[in-house]
Homo-oligomer: A and B are copies of this chain.
Amino acid sequence: MSELWLDQVKWNNDGLVPAIAQDHKSGHILMVAWMNREALQLTVQEQRGIYWSRSRQKLWRKGEESGHVQQLHEIRLDCDGDVILLQVEQLGGIACHTGRASCFYSVLDGAHWIPVDPVLKEPGSIYKKSENPADE
């Protein structure tokens, strides 16, 4: 397969691009993570959300520990080529390492960020390695 489509992505100085995962049915934004070239290529190849973990400096197959795999439905690129949008089905209905459906669970209310979405599952019961609950 030609790699022109990968060359057309505008990678930042670290070789990364932000990727938004959106629920393909509800339109809810689930999370934003980063991809390097390999992560984007593998996402397409394996038809699931695969990212680059900046904190762990390695590929992160979303759901590898939790089972909360993101099955790919569509990939889009924005007009200046520097943001990726994934339409996914979020297995288990939980994208966030806090056990919530979405990472965007805090709303600005006056001068405070208020968590408004419920924890669906305790993180301790999601992750095998309790010492490293955060996916990223």
Contacts and interface: CB of A to CB of B under 8 A. Distances in A.
B76 A5 contact: no
Contact of A31 (B26, B32, B78): B78
A27 B106 CA distance: 17
B108 A79 contact: no
A112 to B, nearest CB: 6
Contacts of A76: 104-108
Given A79-B97, A108-B44, A26 B27 contact: yes
A126 interface: no
A66 interface: no
Given A18-B18, A85-B104, A78 B111 contact: no
A50 interface: no
Nearest to A40: B108
Contact of A32 (B8, B20, B104, B105): B20
Interface in A14-48: 18, 20, 22, 26-29, 31-32, 44
Given A1-B110, A8-B113, A83-B103, 10 more contacts: A3-B111, A5-B113, A20-B32, A22-B29, A27-B27, A32-B78, A74-B107, A76-B104, A78-B104, A79-B100
